Amino acid sequence: MSWLVTGGAGFVGVNLVRLLATRGIRARVFDDLTHGRREDLAGLDAELVVGDIRDAAAVDRALAGVELVVHLAAHTRVMDSIADPTGSFDVNVRGTLVLLEACRRRGGLRRFILASTGGAVLGDAVPPVHEGMPARPLSPYGASKLACEGYCSAYYGSYAIPTVALRFSNVYGPYSYLKGSVVPVFFKRILAGEPLVIHGDGAQTRDFLYVDDLCRAIVAAAERECSGEVLHIGSGRETTIRDLADQMLTVTGIPVPIEWRAARTGEVRRNFACTDRARAVLGFVPAVSLEEGLLRTWDWFRRASPSVTGEAPGRGASFD
């Protein structure tokens, strides 16, 4: 089965392409390289097609001969979407629609897997969050992903394109140095000897999922019948940002201070996922604990240094 991974030179994409390679699958990667690096695909039997997800002609060419699409290409930073909501809509929603339309014209697709998000789509829902909860996004990013889910549902209902939306929790792991999320930003700051910046009181919670577990869930969504589904993919465990910082300082053994700043608008207070539906449909059970995942990620960041740089001074991590 031939795979197209949009955003495949980014964090999740590189890890997915590497997993596919171990299974003898040669993926085609479509990426504009603004948030990814071709060097991370070096040594892999993968085809890289450079292009913009909003470019219909480029997308159509990338789809030639493809049976399965994993759509990861997106702008994912909550704070960036608040600063530029139209840009978030343009890349995330219009880009998804361009891709779905190209799939509809070509036909023959066996699965379309959308990368979505639970926390940003559902907003301040009382956790554990699940698929039956009403969507109340608090940020333009969350609204854009909800719209993408809606278009996937519509193209499944109207054109029988076998779509599935996977709502990722807070994913971390190797090759995440260009991400603005909390784990890579904290590791980069620790490497640089800079304080860990926490906005708010640190009691806000997230569901941290190691990237290898996520990639196994994506492969399961390709192999199992799940058309029309929306599924939460997470660890099912709730961790405060303060506890995360403490664990990361323990793992690294490097004593940098914590710098406390005012809370930010648009960020969800509590979030962790109920993964019962993903277990029933995909057989998905996360295998890597937070402690083990942080150890693996730290080992990668240490080996990748000094090519890994810290977050810009004055800028904190996004918790979503």
Q: Residue 194 falls within a domain, yes or no?
A: yes
Phi then psi for residue 127, to 5 deg, are -75, 160
Contact, 292 vs 300, CB < 8 A?
no
194 shares a domain with 106: no
Q: Residue 311 falls within a domain, yes or no?
A: no
Alpha-helix residue ranges (DSSP H) falling in 23-165: 56-62, 78-83, 85-89, 95-106, 118-122, 140-159
**Which pLDDT score, from 0 to 100, does residue 8 have?**
98
**Which pLDDT score, from 0 to 100, does residue 230 have?**
98
Q: Residue 314 falls within a domain, yes or no?
A: no
**Which pLDDT score, from 0 to 100, does residue 267 have?**
78
Q: Distance between CA atoms of 51 and 312, rounded to whole angstroms?
A: 27
Structure-block tokens of residue 185: 């930003």
Which domain covers residue 179, as residue numbers?
173-207+237-272+288-304
123 shares a domain with 19: yes
Q: Residue 281 falls within a domain, yes or no?
A: no
**Which pLDDT score, from 0 to 100, does residue 152 have?**
99
State how many domains the chain has. 2
Q: Residue 255 falls within a domain, yes or no?
A: yes
Distances (CA, A) of 178 to 4, 9, 14, 38, 300: 22, 11, 12, 13, 14
pTM of the model: 0.94
214 shares a domain with 107: yes
Q: Residue 283: what residue type?
A: G
149 shares a domain with 37: yes
182 shares a domain with 127: no
Q: 195-207 as b/e, with b when 16 or more CB fall inside 10 Å?
A: ebbbbbebebbbb
Packed helices 182-192 and 241-252: angle between N→C axes, nearest 10 degrees: 40
268 shares a domain with 219: no
Contact, 71 vs 54, CB < 8 A?
no
Q: Residue 279 falls within a domain, yes or no?
A: no
166 shares a domain with 178: no
64 shares a domain with 100: yes
51 shares a domain with 182: no
Q: Residue 32 falls within a domain, yes or no?
A: yes
Q: Distance between CA atoms of 222 and 304, rounded to whole angstroms?
A: 31
Q: Residue 253 falls within a domain, yes or no?
A: yes
The CATH number of residue 249's host domain is: 3.90.25.10
Distances (CA, A) of 285 to 129, 172, 231, 236, 280: 17, 17, 13, 10, 10
| pLDDT tens for each residue of the chain, 320 residues long | 799 999 999 999 999 999 999 999 999 999 999 989 999 999 998 999 999 999 999 999 999 999 999 999 999 998 999 999 999 999 999 999 999 999 999 999 999 999 999 889 999 899 999 999 999 999 999 999 999 999 999 999 999 999 999 999 999 999 999 988 999 999 999 999 999 999 999 999 999 999 999 999 999 999 999 999 999 999 999 999 999 999 999 999 999 999 999 998 877 889 999 999 999 999 999 999 999 999 999 999 999 976 665 443 334 566 55
Catalytically active residues are 141
Sort residue 193 into left (φ over 0), alpha (ψ -120 to 50) or beta: left
Burial (CB count within 10 angstroms: exposed 0-12, middle 13-18, buried 19+), residue 90: middle
Four-residue CA torsion sign, 94, 95, 97, 102: positive
134 shares a domain with 188: no
The CATH number of residue 126's host domain is: 3.40.50.720
- The residue whose two tokens read 């040594």 is 43
The closest alpha carbon to 198, from 294, 263, 269, belongs to 263
224 shares a domain with 75: yes
166 shares a domain with 150: yes
Torsion of CA 3, 20, 31, 314, to 10 degrees: 150
Four-residue CA torsion sign, 154, 157, 162, 168: positive
